[in-house]
Amino acid sequence: MRTRHFWLVSGVIFMMALVPGFGCGSGGETDGGIADGGMDAGAGMDCSFDAGYCVDLNTGYWWQNQHEQYMKWLDGVNYCTNLQLGGKQWHLPTISELRSLIRDCRLMQTDGKCSVTDGCLIDLCDLYCVGCSDTGSCYWDRNLSWYCTEYISSSTNNTYSNTAWSIDYKSAGLYSENKGSIKAVRCVYTGH
């Protein structure tokens, strides 16, 4: 189930998800005074490709950088919990942890207008979570390998307990997906 927002203004129906460049992109657009860009797209990761992980220099998080797995939500939780990589205790990332990977889309970065975080996991929080234009871009650090696609988080949508929050990095859009759907999984180690 993907969440989209519609508005009726002067007899015209608007859907934010289809408005190209809404507060995002590389053209310097702004949204409510929030300039685009934010973190430098290529400077935030230190990757050890032989070891199979990258360290985000902005957050200190370690991100699995092996071929992603596609699976249902509960399988993803178990996969990450049991991952043997670098001697660390991995887990399926929360929605806030996944949002920390977003680059060049201020609206969706952790300090952007999107309110879905570990502290706000209901549908009413996703008013500004439509992402940026889907123009073949990839809104994550360029040092991460494998497919730029939709990744599921461990965060349950508290409005619909059979769904979990996900991010599609092709648009930086945030969605509430059925936990039985097959989605990409990328594990994280956060130091705790």
| pLDDT score at 101 | 92
pLDDT digits (tens, 9 = 90+) for 80-108: 999 999 899 999 999 999 999 998 888 89
**CATH for 6-38+48-189?**
3.10.100.10
pLDDT digits (tens, 9 = 90+) for 156-177: 999 999 999 999 999 999 999 9
Are β-strands 150-156 and 163-168 bridged in parallel, bridged antiparallel, or unpaired? antiparallel
pLDDT digits (tens, 9 = 90+) for 6-53: 333 333 333 333 223 222 233 233 332 222 333 344 457 888 767 889
Record the pTM: 0.76
The ranges assigned to domains in the chain are 6-38+48-189
Contacts of 177 (CB under 8 A, 6+ apart): 1, 2, 150, 152, 163, 164, 165, 166, 183
